[in-house]
Amino acid sequence: MRRGVHAEAAALTLLGVAPRLAVVVATADEGAGWYVRSLSGAARRVGVECEVVDLGPDAAPELIGATLARLSSDDTVHGIILQTPLPDGARVEELAASIVPEKDVDGANPLSAGRLAAGLAAYPPATAAAVLELLDHHGVELAGRSAVVVGRSLVVGKPTAQLLLQRDATVGICHRHTKDLAEHTRTADVLVVAVGRIGLIRAEHVADGAVVVDVGTNTAPDGSLVGDVDAVDVARRPGALTPVPGGVGPVTTALLLAHTVRSARAHV
């Protein structure tokens, strides 16, 4: 996919519409900083301009909203991301309403979520889209199969469930209140885990032959990046598991850039 995005970005640039992504940051969080640098690097490599608008960790919600509104009406910007975490008192789901849906490449505006549920054109959150992209890439059939999503966050769990439902899977959604998690997850042909807890999913949670997509990104005590799935334990089961790091993360980045380029096409 990335090669296609690179070629398309180059062609658009030749036509005078250089694809441009704006990332609004209002945090000193280290993980967020690492992620934004990684995204900027990936953007540069495929020929997408990436503008980081750093408002500082004490930015008022009003300033963040006004910045998103300004970027929304800036014709040279084609994609807008509001990086989390945000300062106290700022809520991403409220502020993201200031991102026009055409530039909402990470599907953060509630209107994008609603349009997605209604089957209308909208960008889904890139992480959720990445889960589907991975499943499609590996030819995993979804229609009529049982898919279970563990986690119900606005950015991953809920939209992933929505996308799986659109693809005719029978969908279950589990979370911290679920009693006997393993009983539910063991019914899954496709298991998507997006909670943020190391070792949450072990062999006993997984059916033989199930495909497991690990969306978790946790920092292990030794500083390494690990998912929610105990990969060593789950490897005892015949089936497939996406790795962390790798897996969903890089595909998410690629999709954010692909969405930005798609949005830029509308300006040719």
CB 260 within 8 A of CB 78: yes
User: Which is nearest to 160 in space by CA: 120, 214, 97?
Assistant: 214
Could you say whether residue 141 binds its own copies (CB under 8 A)? Answer: no
> Considering beta carbons, is residue 121 or 268 the nearer one to its own copies?
121
Stretch that binds its own copies, among 44-52, 71-79, 164-172, 192-200 (CB under 8 A): 164-172
- Nearest CB to its own copies, comparing residues 127 and 242: 127
User: 150 in helix, strand or coil?
Assistant: strand
Residues 113-132 within binding reach of its own copies (CB under 8 A): 113-115, 117-120
Contact between residue 67 and residue 242 where contact means Cβ atoms under 8 Å apart: no
3-class DSSP assignment, residue 184: helix
- Single out the residue of 243, 173, 234, 174 nearest to residue 208, CA to CA: 234
Known binding-site positions: 151-153, 217
Query: Which residue among 145, 197, 262, 267 contacts its own copies (CB under 8 A)?
Result: 145
Q: Is 170 near its own copies (CB under 8 A)?
A: yes
Residue closer to its own copies (CB basis): 58 or 136: 136
For residue 231, the minimal CB distance to its own copies (Å) is: 25
36 vs 147, which CB is nearer to its own copies? 147
Q: Which long-range contacts (CB under 8 A, 24 or more apart) does 71-77 make?
A: 71/22, 71/24, 71/99, 71/103, 72/98, 72/99, 72/100, 72/103, 73/100, 74/22, 75/267, 76/18, 76/20, 77/20, 77/21, 77/22, 77/51, 77/103
Q: Which of 11, 42, 165, 225 binds its own copies (CB under 8 A)?
A: 165
Q: Count Cα atoms within 13 angstroms, Cβ side, for 44.
A: 8
What does each C-alpha distance from 192 to 1, 87, 169, 188, 206 come to in angstroms? 22, 30, 13, 9, 11
CB of 59 to its own copies, least distance (A): 21
**Could you give the maximum distance between any two Cα atoms of the chain, in Å?**
56
Q: Does 205 bind its own copies (CB under 8 A)?
A: no
Please report how close the Cβ of residue 124 comes to its own copies at its closest, in angstroms.
12
**Closer CB to its own copies, 96 or 134, in the complex:** 96
Strand 218-219, strand 211-214: pairing: unpaired
Other Cβ atoms less than 10 A from the Cβ of 161: the count is 21
- The stretch among 11-19, 109-117, 213-221, 243-251 that binds its own copies (CB under 8 A) is 109-117
Least distance CB 145 / its own copies (angstroms): 8
Pairing of strands 225-226, 218-219: antiparallel
Which span sits near its own copies by CB under 8 A: 40-48, 82-90, 171-179, 192-200? 171-179
Interface of this chain with its own copies, residues 59 to 98, rule: CB under 8 A: 93-94
Binding residue positions for NADP(+): 151-153, 217
Tokens of residue 54, six digits: 């750093």
Residue whose CB is less far from its own copies, 137 or 175: 175
Give residues in contact with its own copies (CB under 8 A).
Answer: 93-94, 109-115, 117-120, 143-146, 152, 154, 158, 161, 165, 168-175, 177-179, 184
